[in-house]
Chain A
Amino acid sequence: MKRVVITGQGTINALGRNVPETLDAMREGRSGIGPLEFRDVERLSIRIGGQVRDFVPEKEFNRQQIALYDRFTQFTLIAAKEALEQSGISFEGELAARSGVVLGTAGGGVNTWDENYRTVYEDGKNRVHPFVVPKLMNNAAASHVSITYNLQGPSYTVATACASSNHAMGQAFNMIRSGMVPAMVTGGSESMLCFGGVKAWEGLRVMSRDACRPFSANRNGMVQGEGAAVFVFEELEHAQARGADILAEVVGFAMSSDAADIVMPSKRGAAKAISGAVRDAGVNPEEIGYINAHGTGTAANDKTECAAVAEVFGRHADRLMISSTKSMHGHLIGGTGAVELLACVMALQEGVIAPTIGYEEPDPECSLDVVPNVAREAKVDVVLSNAFAFGGLNAVLALRKFP
């Protein structure tokens, strides 16, 4: 089996326009969550989110590109540019012919749906822009990355709600590990902070009106975010041959399905994915120093996730650190695992564990070391990133420090 490493990473989210800004915010425990700003927000009962503020597409893209790029595609391309520049990889010849892009998104072009429904239903117009379909389709972002960077191998989009990015990155990992491809551009993106996107979530009554406080006894729900994170996953020898800087090694991945409830999480399904990733990585559970939690800040997720971690790690559960950076950037739904992987790479590379901010009261059902409120310096060698989706679909990645 081939070894797989990360040679580039990029992002745009509520915490920053790139990776350095995002990691600064995570180190400082700064929140990117604030009042939402978009049309008809006054008709919502949930009015906060991790929005990418003051984003002006015209500064990033030309008119023809904007006609084709929904906001989730725009975020993806900005993140991909940063990742590819850092990696220094150039897709030409055989490398371009074999490499591809696999990205996660839950909703795809939600803003495009929303705007065009308005046009035909609210404004009563009978005509929409000709590019509505290629703009809103879930694979638009992956396709534009493929087009922009000449990736001619296997490319597709994974939609597993809140686990989309982790499933996508797990696919990229296994495709390289098996020798099928030399490199993959992977990660995920989401942009559903618009009237229709938030209204739909509001209906489920799991959203907080004031803050995302994962693991805190007074937590009262999730807060949505938006943005993207993109990585270059590359076969180790390929990366070394071209003298690339290696950020971390991807060592394990596991998926499971609860086969139970469409919204309520299950400890059994989560535990199966966590223990599966540890086993796939070929490490002992005691080697896991940090877990980037799914940690949505809902009553149900956080206690179920903590119970699953306690079950898998036994006494070691009290020694490892587990934090939820959703407290800072919000829940990016299909893009969340990708942004959260940045915190995992930071833990391995810099020895800085991103905190769970907004933590106010201990909850006996979440009695793990959740790195409350303040980042911590700690040396960790192997880390996990959890994602547990509506629909009971779970995906957990394992990363190791390199070298």
Chain B
Amino acid sequence: MADTVKSKVISIIAEQAALDISDVKPEASLEDLGIDSLALVESIFSIEETFDITVPFNANNPEESEFDISSVSSIIKAVEGLVAAQAA
């Protein structure tokens, strides 16, 4: 499952950033990838639709949301957690 989540999240982010999948490195921040606030909200929407989960995220205080968006890998980890929680 983990690899599927990872590759799907990376492909969502790559599409929003208009980058090749190979250019989306796990350690990169969204800012590094040129994802602005609108693209971020759209990415989260896309993640919710893809995995049929609800992501707790408020654009007013991203750093305080339970959903860690500080890097690509943190997003993948958070999505994995939500998908696992839903399966449980």
Contacts and interface: CB of A to CB of B under 8 A. Distances in A.
State whether these chains interact: yes
Interface of A: 45, 203-209, 219-221, 262-264, 298-300
Contact of B60 (A203, A220, A264): A220
A208 B60 CA distance: 9
B38 A205 contact: no
Contacts of B44: 205
Contacts of B37: 263-264, 300
Interface residues of B, number: 13
Contacts of A207: 58
Nearest to B54: A45
Given A220-B60, A221-B58, 6 more contacts: A204-B41, A207-B58, A208-B58, A208-B60, A221-B59, A221-B60
B59 A299 contact: yes
A235 B58 CA distance: 47
B61 interface: yes
Nearest to B55: A205
A69 to B, nearest CB: 35
B58 A220 contact: yes
Contacts of A209: 58
A205 B61 CA distance: 10
B60 A262 contact: no
A188 to B, nearest CB: 25
16 contacts: A203-B45, A204-B41, A204-B59, A205-B41, A205-B57, A206-B60, A219-B60, A220-B60, A220-B64, A221-B60, A264-B36, A298-B59, A299-B59, A299-B60, A299-B61, A300-B60
A282 B60 CA distance: 37
Interface string B38-56: 1001001100000000100
